[in-house]
Amino acid sequence: MTMEKPLKKVCIICAKGTIEDVYATLVLANGAVMEGIEAKVFFTFFGLDAITKKQYKKLHTATVGNPAMRMPGGLPFPSILGILPGVEAGVSAMMKSQMDKLDIPPVDEFFEMIVAGGGEIYACKLAMDMFKLTKDDLIDEVNSVLTVGDFYGLCGGENTQIIFT
């Protein structure tokens, strides 16, 4: 697709900590840096799980209230099943297995690739304060903790797109 003014920068906001939301953010950010587009990623509220040392390897798929969830064969997944012990863990393991088969990198490798490609990772100060987290609780790839206003300040300029995942 040819554009008169090509995209120069994406600013991606991740507010949810499920596998599908975090991976959407990581795929978009990694795709941007691979295309030479400046990428800045802001993790807020439950999205902080993706950049918190204790949580980033424990991301799960949402099984309750997820209308897009399907069982093998394409039948809708009955949301009520998600409350049963072990169901969410099983569905999450199945998702991770499918991603492994497609050679999709784990979260930590995605962060390494994004940063190596020039992408920047930020945490939301408000959410950090709410959850009583400090910079030491975050993975090393996080540049800094910012207010949303400071993040928007980084997102200025021509040909910038803000994406909320």
45-104 pLDDT, tens per residue?
999 999 999 999 988 787 776 767 777 777 777 777 777 777 777 777 777 778 888 888
Place of tokens 């909320």: 164
Is 73 domain-assigned? Answer: no
- CATH code at position 24: 3.40.1260.10
- Contact assessment for residue 112 and residue 22, using Cβ atoms and an 8 Å cutoff: no
Tens of pLDDT along 52-68?
Answer: 999 999 887 877 767 67
Q: What are the residues whose beta carbons fall under 8 Å from the beta carbon of 44, sequence distance 6 or more?
A: 13, 14, 15, 123, 124, 126, 127, 148
Total domain count for the chain?
A: 1
Give residue 34's domain range. Answer: 9-62+79-164
Is 115 domain-assigned? Answer: yes
Q: pTM for this structure?
A: 0.86
- Contact assessment for residue 9 and residue 37, using Cβ atoms and an 8 Å cutoff: yes
Is 1 domain-assigned? Answer: no
Is 67 domain-assigned? Answer: no
Is 83 domain-assigned? Answer: yes
Distance, in Å, from the CA atom of 142 to the CA atom of 47, rounded to the nearest integer, reads: 13
Give the three-state DSSP class for 78: coil
Give the three-state DSSP class for 63: coil
Is 2 domain-assigned? Answer: no
Is 3 domain-assigned? Answer: no
Is 69 domain-assigned? Answer: no
Structure tokens at 106: 């784990």
